[in-house]
Amino acid sequence: MAFNPENKNIKKALQKNEAAQMPKPKDSIVIPVFTDKEERTKNYTFSLQPSIRKRLDSLAKEHNFKSASKFLNELIKNM
């Protein structure tokens, strides 16, 4: 064998490399899970490209949200 697997220094070095390769949570987008917490909302107007709106609607439906706005709200809240 090329090295002794019982060597604690080698184990530490390997664990440090694994931890360094893991992506940071802030670098990835986490898709929210639908929760039925009701909070009063206020209407806002903003623009989206039609293709983005279609994708937003499909993502909301795919993740069991009642509307695209609730999905977007949870997505932003969880960032």
**pLDDT over 70 (residue 57):** yes
What residues does each domain of the chain span?
A: 48-79
Dihedral sign computed on CA atoms, order 64, 65, 67, 68: negative
Binning pLDDT at 50, 70 and 90, where does residue 50 land? very high
Q: Give me the pLDDT at residue 32, please.
A: 67
Q: Are 72 and 46 in contact (CB under 8 A)?
A: no
How wide is the angle at C-alpha 14 spanned by C-alphas 8 and 16, nearest 5°?
100
Q: For 9-47, how does the pLDDT look when each residue is reduced to its tens digit (9 = 90+)?
A: 776 766 765 555 555 555 677 776 766 667 778 899 999
Q: Are 52 and 44 in contact (CB under 8 A)?
A: no
**pLDDT over 90 (residue 48):** yes
